[in-house]
A = this chain, B = another copy of it.
């Protein structure tokens, strides 16, 4: 029997980690192919991208559609449930943006490269 003390533990298991929130963020702007996702996510390896996508699929947030053709073509999109998870991603994005602004005002040498990935968050 698996036990949780707080709801947040389940959330972190599902969308925690280094990449999943970003992937959800990107898929919010529409269906994407594997290579497209990889080009947009700076620094992710193909192995890890696919691994994360499979986990998101297993957890019901992402749908995987395989075209039976050569060369291979696979498309990923958010399920309805995935869209509910995006609510979390949104708050995290906007809080993060405010955090960055604040730190800039305090003189820290940081930037948010807006528009480069989703153009939104």
Instruction: Report how far A95 CA is from B14 CA in the complex, Å.
Output: 11
Complex contacts, A4 vs chain B, CB 8 Å: 96, 100, 110-113
Instruction: Report how far A29 CA is from B99 CA in the complex, Å.
Output: 23
Instruction: Report how far A3 CA is from B113 CA in the complex, Å.
Output: 7
Instruction: Report how far A6 CA is from B118 CA in the complex, Å.
Output: 8
Q: How many copies does the complex hold?
A: 2
Q: How many residues from A make CB contacts under 8 Å with B?
A: 44
Interface string of A80-114 (1 = CB under 8 A from B): 00001101110111111111100000001111110
Which residue of A6, A84, A93, A100 has the most chain B CB atoms within 10 A of its CB atom? A6
Q: A2-B109, A88-B92 are in contact. List 7 more A-B contacts (CB 8 A).
A: A1-B111, A5-B22, A5-B112, A8-B93, A10-B96, A10-B97, A11-B92
Seen from chain A, the residues whose Cβ lies within 8 Å of a Cβ on chain B are 1-12, 14, 16, 18, 21-22, 25, 42, 84-85, 87-89, 91-100, 108-113, 116-118, 121
